[in-house]
Amino acid sequence: MGDHHGAVPAGALDVAGAGWAAVELGALAVVLLVWALHSAGRRSARGRGPWPAARTALFAGGLLCVAAALVGPLARAAHGSFTAHMGAHLLLGMLGPLLLALGAPVTLALRALPVRRARALARLLRRPPVRVLAHPAVAALLAGGGAWVLYTTALFPAMHASPWVHVAVHAHVLLAGYLLAASLVGVDPDPHRAPVAVRAGVLVVYVAAHTLLAKHLYAVPPSGVEPRDAEVGAQLMAHGGDVVDLALAVLVALGWYRATAPRGRTARPSPGAGDPGPTCPGPGPLPASSPPRARRPAGLTGVERWS
């Protein structure tokens, strides 16, 4: 749709203004900081065996998605074009968080932190507020409901008028997307992971809400968006969202498939085919007598390991 700016309120035209430049720089700084922390964590966790390269690649891919949504040409085009905005939101709220969650950042933190701090983090993750937030139904409500509020209220023009609203909306989109991905298909420790039927049910409702919102936006554009731009953006939302939703469905089913593996077939030395045993060292150091495969708690196949 190009970079036309006719569809947004006057306040948003000042994309090059100091506030917006600060937002972009801040986002870049956060992404770089997270990557620096991740690198430091990998170095610190080296004593527990090498961190799987695939996990690092997934996490880096997620960070790249987030960066592409917040910094650079797509982020700038998103100020004027609803289609570009939707592309950025697919990266920021769906694909990026999914890749970040598959990168098992909490497991890396538990391995990298000193024992006492790791235990404190593990305790924090078990606290009721975190458990509530990490429930798939709550996460889906935050992610899907948040999108409904954003696109059907005055919040959408507001986020293009005020850098602060912009930052808050983007932070919500990213965090809610991460919660949803982690609660549905996360590989990090989750002692209270919802049963697979609940996760599949939540996914169906979430996908339906997503599709419905896309059709609604096709017919009723968010305030300040031209109809043609809204049509293209809504279809991008529907079809791009479908691709990520399909990946989520496959990963939920894959988790079930691995967790229900027939007995006797999981004893292979391959890095865990869904063995629910306590194969991750958790917050503390590995006991000396732990089995050899316990060294690879974050193997790519451990989707249901913590359930």
Q: How far apart are CA 117 and CA 113, in angstroms?
A: 6
Secondary structure of residue 94 in the 3-state scheme: helix
Q: Which is nearer to another protein, 45 or 238 (CB)?
A: 238
Quick one: tokens of 83? 């289609």
Q: Which is nearer to another protein, 138 or 259 (CB)?
A: 259
Q: How far apart are CA 90 and CA 143, in angstroms?
A: 12
Q: Which is nearer to another protein, 123 or 215 (CB)?
A: 215
Q: How far is the CB of 155 from another protein (least distance, A)?
A: 22
Q: Which is nearer to another protein, 108 or 234 (CB)?
A: 234
Q: How far is the CB of 297 from another protein (least distance, A)?
A: 21
Q: How far is the CB of 214 from another protein (least distance, A)?
A: 8
Contact 15/3 with Cβ under 8 angstroms?
no
Residue in 267, 264, 258, 246 with CA at minimum distance from that of residue 302: 258
Longest Cα pair distance anywhere in the chain, in angstroms? 67
Q: How far apart are CA 192 and CA 131, in angstroms?
A: 7
Contact 180/143 with Cβ under 8 angstroms?
yes
Residue in 181, 177, 245, 184 with CA at minimum distance from that of residue 211: 245
Q: How far is the CB of 208 from another protein (least distance, A)?
A: 4
Q: Which is nearer to another protein, 111 or 210 (CB)?
A: 210
Q: How far is the CB of 151 from another protein (least distance, A)?
A: 15
- Give CA angle at 260 (50, 279), nearest 5°: 30
Q: How far is the CB of 34 from another protein (least distance, A)?
A: 31
> What residue ranges bind another protein (CB under 8 A)?
200, 203-209, 211-212, 215, 218-219, 234-235, 238, 242, 245-246, 249-250, 253-254, 256-257, 259-263, 265
Q: How far apart are CA 292 and CA 269, in angstroms?
A: 9
Q: How far is the CB of 123 from another protein (least distance, A)?
A: 30
Residue in 276, 270, 285, 282 with CA at minimum distance from that of residue 255: 276
Q: Which is nearer to another protein, 178 or 206 (CB)?
A: 206
DSSP annotation of 190 reads -
Rg (CA), the chain: 21
Q: Which is nearer to another protein, 107 or 279 (CB)?
A: 279
